[in-house]
Structures are given as C-alpha cells and as structure tokens.
Amino acid sequence: MSEATTNAAKSMDDIMALCKRRGFIFQASEIYGGVNGFWDYGPLGAQLKKNLKDAWWQDTVLTPPDGPDGKPVSIVGLDSCIIQNPKVWEASGHVGGFNDPMVDDKETKQRFRADHLWGFFILPASDGSADEFRLVFERAADDPSFAPLFTCVAGASGEARDFLTSNRKKLFKQLKLKVTSEPSESDEHAVMTLEKDGQRYIGGLAPVSSEALSQSHASIPSPFTHSAGQLTPPRAFNLMFKTFLGATATEDDIAYLRPETAQGIFINYKNVLDTTRVKMPFGIAQLGKAFRNEVTPRNFTFRSREFEQMEIEFFCHPDTTREWYAFWRDTRMAWWRSLGLTGDNLLLREHDADELAHYAKTGAGTSDIEYRFPFTAPGFGELEGVADRSNFDLTQHAEHARAKLEYFDQERNERYLPHVIEPSAGADRGVLALLCEAFTPDPERASKVYMRFHPRIAPIKAAVFPLVNKDGMPEIGEKLHKELRARFGMVDFDPKQSIGKRYARMDEAGCPYCFTIDSDTLSDQTVTVRHRDTLEQDRVALDKVGNWLAEKLTS
Ligand code: ATP
C-alpha cells in the first residue's frame, strides 16, 4: 500500500481523467463540445452524490445529535420550487444587488460594486482652504483621467472615512504625504491639506465615478492591493438566471432560477409553523439545485453554474444564537470528518468581523468549513458556510410580503422574530472533496490508483466475482449478488476477465470489498473477501456474507 499522498501532490488532471474514465463526472453536453460551468454525473458519480445527500438527510433531518440544551434537535424537511415569485429575490436583495455593475480585481479575484469604490484624491492647492476641495470633488466626478492615490470599497462615506483613519499612517508614509491640517470630525470627505515634496495640496475622499472606472480602470489602484492595472471596467452582471413565465415573454413575465435554496425555506417558515408541531428552536432543511451565472466557472465542479445545496435554516430565540451557532459549526465539522475528510485537509475558519456578510454584522459569527483541494493547496476552498443570519431574511420578507412572521413563544411568554443560524453546504463541492480525498496513487497496484472512499459513501458497496465462468460458480455468484443488492444497493457482478483486472476496476471505483467464488466455495461454502485498502484476503462463510458486510459498512 502506498504512503498517504498529500492533496498538494495529487494531480487534478489525473483525478478528472479518472472521473471521466470510470463514469463519475462528465462534461455536460460533451458531444456538442460542452457547455462552460455545467457537469453531468455518470453512474458512479450519481450514486456517490446520492449517498452524500442521503447521509446529510439522515444525519441532519432524521437523526441529528442532541442540541446544546441536551434535548433532541427538532428539524423538518422541505422541498420548495426552483422558480418562485420574483418578489422573493427583491426581498432577499438578490435582484438589486446582483444587477449592479461590478468590478473584478483580476489579481485577488475579489469583486465589488462599481458604485462602492471611494478614492483619496489630491490637487495642488493655493491657500489650501476647504472650499478648494470642491474642485477636487468636481474633478473626481467629471474627469475620468483624474486618478485617486488609493481606493477602498465602502457602502457609504462613513465607511470610507473609517478606512482612511485605520490605514492613513501606512499609506501616507508610502506616498510621502505629510498632513498640514487635519480634517474636521464631521466632514464626510475628510478634507485636509497636505505637503508632498515641498508642494502644497488639498485632498480628501470622493466616490470614484463610473466614468473613471470605465475609461481609466487601468490607472486606478485596487482597493485590495493598492496597485494599479488589475481592475476590470464595471460590468453589468446578474448572477441569477432569468427566464419567462408563459408564452408572451415580456418584461412582466421575468422569473429567476433560485441562486440558493435558503429563500424557499424562509418563505415557507410560517407554513411549517402552522402545519407541524415544531416549536422554537427548530430547523428546516432543504436539499436541491441552485443556479448562479458565475462569470468564471472553474476548478472542475468547484465553481459551477448549476449546483446542489444542502441547507439548514435553524430558527431560535435571539438570546440563544451564540450557543446554536457554536453547535452547528462544530456538528457540521464533525460530520464532514465522519465521512472521511480527515487530518489537516479540513479546516474551520472563523471570519474576521470585516468580512462578515451584510446580514451577519452583529451576530454570533460566521465560519467556513474549508477543504484543501489539490487546486487550492496549500490553501483551502469553501465547502460549507455556517452563518448567523440574524433575523435579516424574515424581516425582509415580513416587510416585502406584508406578512406577520413573528413567533409567539409560550414558554417565554414573548413574541419575537426568530434569529437564524444557517449551515449551507454544497453537494457538488462535497462530492469533489470526497473524490480528491479518496484518490490514492499506488504504483504497486495494477490500477496504479485506488479510491479510498469511506464505506458509507462508496458508490459500489461490494462486488461479487465468480473466479471462472463455469463449474456452477456464476450461479452461486448471481444468487449472492441478488441478495447483497437487495440489502445494500449498488453491488457489482462481474464474471469476465482475469481476477486481477476485475480487482483493478473495483479499486478505481472505490469498492471496499470484493467477494470471489472460487473452487473452495464449492467444497466448504466459503468465499474469498478482498479488502480494498489493505489488500488483505480472508474467507467468510457464503451464508454470512450479508451480515459480515452490514457490520463493515456501518462500523
Ligand atoms: P463562493 O464564495 O465560493 O462563491 P459562496 O460563499 O457564495 O461561495 P454560499 O452562497 O455561502 O457560497 O453557498 C453555500 C455553498 O454552496 C458553498 O459553501 C458551496 O459549497 C456551494 N456553492 C456556492 N456557489 C457554488 C458554485 N458556483 N458551484 C458549486 N458550489 C457552489
């Protein structure tokens, strides 16, 4: 057996080649040259993905662990539509947000709204009075060639000022700027007078105009690295796929494919409360397709345009968000580990306060469960996000739909809008992580590589091989195959080729156990069992194979 190969040393090309060769994942529309950002799952991939989703449903909806209060966690399932009333996406912020022109930083791959870029501009000053700043401001608005010295992303002037306060010392030193008069506290433009190389300037903060970004993006410094030459011009960009309801296809008929499954849960929260006996705290879980018109789909299935999510929205009293957040963060991390993503390939990363999403600014926290994919190594890529969404979504829907979404808590005798902890995982990224983790090169084997799947998620649970295609062996094999298939799902039966080739095929498919009917079977009613990982072989009684396998698959 080979030494464990680190993910950094695994070749993504080799993994993708195996996925194609063995029918895990195919390029969508391959015979027509493919379609960028879409992938189809072949027979082994479809089963692998189903096993992952089944494990999630089983472990989160049907048998979740006890909660932080020591009581059983209450969760129910949901299956909402991909297309909803377009107002859902206005309320959630997806329509407004994703319609805005966006700018990409080609270097850091970060994207921001064009109208959120602020710059620090200077102009030579005569007397340096604050009035003169009007000239700076006007020029920043009107003259696209007037470039700021540095920039920041800010939704409002206050944020831009905060940025300036925190970064001024470092940036001014680099730019050799000396402040000669400080800005007044209340001035949103932070107008100040400065000196540089003996020359007097007046400077301050102003929004970078869309004109400037369109025409002079190459000379505007990035808000992330402060170097110029890496920003794209603003591009109108809607991440949501549009379609039309009905045949007329006018602007009024526009609808969207959901970009996340979460909103389907929020808009059904009241229905679930009214029709089941769930009480706070409780969760609603949903598994299903989501669509995002990603600008640069890349890294195999990692960033696709059509993908599947496994999401839980867990509703609780606002005072309990911290303990539920910690519970879900740790539970979800342990779950990925239980499926075989072990060691330091899996990482829990708590977000810094300044990268929190708009809905999570004041909450219990946000963390990403990240996996070290071969294409991110030595870095990591997000597998699942666990976020405190506060009551942001329910507030939005209560307002937009004019619906009463408050909950009356009988135990507390209190009416409130619950807060939400959201563990949101990607099934496709999960499958990709399982594939990368399982991929184990082994030059000693005929297949040169084997897929070391955890038995619980392995697509093929077992294989049955009659050693030769005669002497009654195929008949015994067929009977065993039928029995195992009825009990465990996908079980392979292969009476052809050399036994070495058949083992090699199963190694590449990641089948944990192969049972061979040989001449001894005919005399003592036992079969050879071959263990995928250790290559050990021992014998099991033919009539005990089912129970033996059951024990192995659940241990
Ligand atoms: P990223 O920053 O990588 O775009 P995100 O933070 O936008 O991801 P979320 O909106 O939190 O992702 O979605 C939850 C999960 O859905 C992610 O953790 C990921 O597993 C999955 N996911 C999101 N976008 C994609 C995509 N384009 N392709 C495949 N899976 C995705």
One-character DSSP codes across 256-289: EB-S-SHHHHHTTHHHHHHHS---SSEEEEEEEE
Sequence-distant contacts of 520-526: CB under 8 A, at least 24 apart: 521/473, 521/476, 522/471, 522/472, 522/473
Report residue 106: phi and psi, to 5°: -65, -25
Residue among 287, 429, 432, 434 to mutate when testing ligand 1 (max atoms within 8 A of CB): 429
pLDDT confidence bin for 2, thresholds 50/70/90? very low
Of 19-23, 159-163, 225-229, 324-328, minimum mean pLDDT range: 159-163
Q: Ligand 1 centroid vs 304 CA: distance in angstroms?
A: 9
User: Residue 246 has which token pair?
Assistant: 């009905």
Q: What is the pLDDT of residue 396?
A: 94
Distance CA 73, CA 314 (A): 10
Q: What is the pLDDT of residue 108?
A: 80
Q: Ligand 1 centroid vs 426 CA: distance in angstroms?
A: 6
SS3 180: strand
Mean of per-residue pLDDT scores for the chain: 91
What is the distance in angstroms between the CA of the first residue and the CA of the last residue of the chain?
22
Pick the more confident residue, 478 or 161: 478
pLDDT at 45 over 80: yes
User: Residue 160 has which token pair?
Assistant: 């831009």
Task: Please give the average per-residue pLDDT across 69-97, as a whole number.
Answer: 91
Q: What is the pLDDT of residues 448-483, one digit of tens each?
A: 999 999 999 999 999 999 999 989 999 999 999 999
pLDDT at 129 over 70: no
Ligand 1 — pocket residues by CB below 6 A? 260, 292, 294, 303-304, 307, 309, 382-385, 424-426, 428-429
What ranges make up the beta strands (E) of 114-149? 117-124
Q: What is the pLDDT of residue 100?
A: 67
**Which residues are paired to 368 by β-bridges?**
349, 385
Nearest alpha carbon, ligand 1 atom 20: 426
Residues 365 and 350: beta-carbon distance below 8 Å = yes
Q: What is the pLDDT of residue 3?
A: 41
Q: How far is CA 28 from the centre of its chain?
A: 21
Residues 237 and 96: beta-carbon distance below 8 Å = no
Q: What is the pLDDT of residue 195?
A: 93
Angle at 240 between CA 296 and CA 255, to 5 degrees: 155
Q: Ligand 1 centroid vs 166 CA: distance in angstroms?
A: 31
In what helix (H) or strand (E) does residue 382 lie, and over which residues does it extend?
strand 381-390
User: Residue 245 has which token pair?
Assistant: 């309801």
- Ligand 1 atom closest to residue 430's alpha carbon, by position in its atom list: 20
Q: How far is CA 221 from the centre of its chain?
A: 30
Q: Ligand 1 centroid vs 101 CA: distance in angstroms?
A: 21
Q: What is the pLDDT of residues 280-317, one digit of tens each?
A: 999 999 999 999 988 678 899 999 999 999 999 999 99
Helix orientation angle between 473-488 and 545-554, rounded to the nearest 10 degrees: 40
Sequence-distant contacts of 159-164: CB under 8 A, at least 24 apart: 160/118, 160/188, 160/205, 161/188, 161/190, 161/205, 163/118, 164/120, 164/190, 164/205
Residues 134 and 148: beta-carbon distance below 8 Å = no
Distance CA 368, CA 382 (A): 6
In what helix (H) or strand (E) does residue 25 lie, and over which residues does it extend?
strand 25-27
Distance CA 186, CA 53 (A): 54
Nearest alpha carbon, ligand 1 atom 29: 303
Nearest alpha carbon, ligand 1 atom 18: 384
Angle at 51 between CA 48 and CA 56, to 5 degrees: 130
In sequence order, what are the residues at sequence separation of 6 or more whose Cβ sits closer than 8 angstroms to the Cβ of residue 548? 529, 540
Residues 384 and 336: beta-carbon distance below 8 Å = yes
Residue 382, CA atoms < 13 Å, CB-side half-sphere: 15
In sequence order, what are the residues at sequence separation of 6 or more whose Cβ sits closer than 8 angstroms to the Cβ of residue 423? 311, 312, 314, 328, 329, 331, 332, 384, 385, 386
